[in-house]
Structures are given as structure tokens and as C-alpha cells.
Amino acid sequence: MMSLIGCSSDENTSDTSPQIIDEVIDNEEEVNIEYANIDFSNWKVTLPVDENNNGSPDEYSPLQLINFGYQTLAPVQPYMYDDATDTSLVFYTFPDISTTNSSYSRTELRELINTNNASKNWTLLEGGEMIGRLKVDAVSENTTSSDDYHKVIIMQIHGIISEEDMNTHGFSSNNGPPLIKIYWKDGYVWSHKKSLIDETTDGDDLLDTSTNTWSDIKVNLGYVGFDTFDFRISASDAKIEVQLNGEETFVYEDISLDKWPYENYFKAGNYLTTTDVDAYSYVKYYNLSVTH
């Protein structure tokens, strides 16, 4: 069973030791049950289902998840649950309901630096870092393309239009493009970063979220297969660092980051990028920390 550590400016991200809980079984024997440090104080979870029939994926807030509250939520347990065999938290998903700006389903955590207002987020100047230990435990075979398996997004830095720009321009949606998407593709970890197609683009034109303005540049960071691996994303002013298994850090530092007009939030979990009917994926997280 696993731990997610929420946002904190003074949290020790190197502490990956499990939390040990004493429980009494049948009022006779006290046993130690290990959970990795799980702190959902700044995470909400999005599920791949719409059980409340409101037309959107079901979501559960930090207040519902903290203090092991997720373990008591029957609607959450099929999709996000502990695995006692290896002290992990399992994220399971399959194609069903998707968010407004996507065709794909997910069981994914979304960072909330202000749990009362999802419109409050952070800039690259303010920066942040996310570190995780995880693995893709199982994923369906892809029979409709040249890939062996379906692709899964396991981490993101997602852009969002600021409240100030929303008010200035009267946009109907604050959705921005994902700045960084970390993919698992046939056992390889890939980093996709948004970059300007035309680096002379400036001003309000930067807020065009379409592929006419922003496109992905893709980097293969290495092979992990179905094994456990460590991953780090660090964001700062006009600079992004990504690192797999403590190996050489890959650094993005370019004019596109210098001009990035959006605020940001971290995401982590299991975002399955297919609508194939029989598709599925299981991602295990052993540790996850975010600092700002």
C-alpha cells in the first residue's frame, strides 16, 4: 500500500519510509500493517466512471481522501486501492467516461494547492517539484496499431489559464494545454513537452491552446518495462528538468518556457490513452511527493 505526500514547502521528499498502522484483528491479535506515507491533503482523484450521472467523471476531494478516508469510499475502491503485497497504491482504469477536454478515461490525482479553489495554481516562476516511485503493473495489448501495448500517461504538469486572464478575456473555459506529459510506451518512459510552433508568437496569441500554436516535442528517457522506477519533474523559471532512476537529468530551457503564459498544477496516476473497448491499465505508486 502506498503513499502520496501532498504539497508542502518544508516536507522532506527523501523520506519514503512506510507508515505503520497498528490494527487489532478479531480482538485477539495486534498486527502491524504497512502503508507508505499517504497524504491526500492537496490531491483530488478523478475516476473513469460517472456513478452520480451528472455527465462528468466522478471526483473525490482531499477532505474525503485524507486520513485513509479513500479506504472507506466504496465507489473509489475499485479504481484506487491498496495492495498489501508490496505496499503500493493501485490506480486502475479502463475506457468509459472522460473529462470535457479529453476522449480518454483516467484514475488520476490532480494537485490542489488551494483545496477551496481549483483556479488557484502556481507559475513557473514560483516553481515546484514532483517525485514518484511507481510502475506500470499491467496494460492491455494494442491490436489496432504498431504498438505492443496501449500508452499510459503517468505524470503531468498541466497548464491552466489564470483567473486574471479569464477575467481579462472573458474565456468560457480555463483549460490550458499540458506542459509536460510523461508516457509509458511499450516499456519506455517518454517525456512530451509543449513548445511553440512559431517562437515569435507573443502576447495574447500565446493563450491559443490549439495545436496551431503549441505542439509536443518528444524525448525517450529510457526503458523500464514493467519494473519499478523513480521519476522526478522539477519546474522553475523558464526551466524544466526530468530525471529517470537518478540518471542524467534531461533539461528543457528555451524560449517556449520563457513565454509560457499559463499557471500549472501537477497530476499523477493512470491516464489510459485509448478508447478500445477491452483496454485496461494498472499503475502502482509506491511514493509520491510534491514540494513548492
How confident is the model over 19-67, as pLDDT tens digits? 555 555 555 566 777 776 768 999 999 999 999 999 999 999 999 999 9
Q: State the Cα–Cα distance between residues 274 and 153, nearest whole angstrom.
A: 11
Tens-digit pLDDT profile for residues 70-106: 999 999 999 999 998 999 999 999 999 999 889 999 9
* Mean pLDDT value across residues 156-165: 97
Q: Are strands 281-291 and 3-8 parallel, antiparallel or unpaired?
A: parallel
Enumerate domains of the chain plus CATH numbers: 3-291 (2.60.120.200)
Q: Are strands 88-93 and 80-83 parallel, antiparallel or unpaired?
A: antiparallel
Q: State the Cα–Cα distance between residues 178 and 168, nearest whole angstrom.
A: 22
Cell numbers of 79, please? 479504481
For residue 5, pLDDT over 50 is answered with no
- Which helix (H) or strand (E) element contains residue 164? helix 163-169
pLDDT on residue 39: 86
Four-point Cα dihedral 200, 205, 211, 214, nearest 10? 50
Mean pLDDT for the chain overall = 91
**Who's near 195: CB < 8 A, 6+ residues apart?**
214, 215, 216, 217, 254, 256
φ, ψ for residue 113 (rounded to 5)?
-75, -25
Reported as a pLDDT band with limits 50, 70 and 90, residue 16 is: low
Nearest in space to 179 (alpha carbons), one of 254, 120, 116, 76: 254
3-state secondary structure of 61: coil
Amino acid at position 188, single letter: Y
pLDDT on residue 33: 76
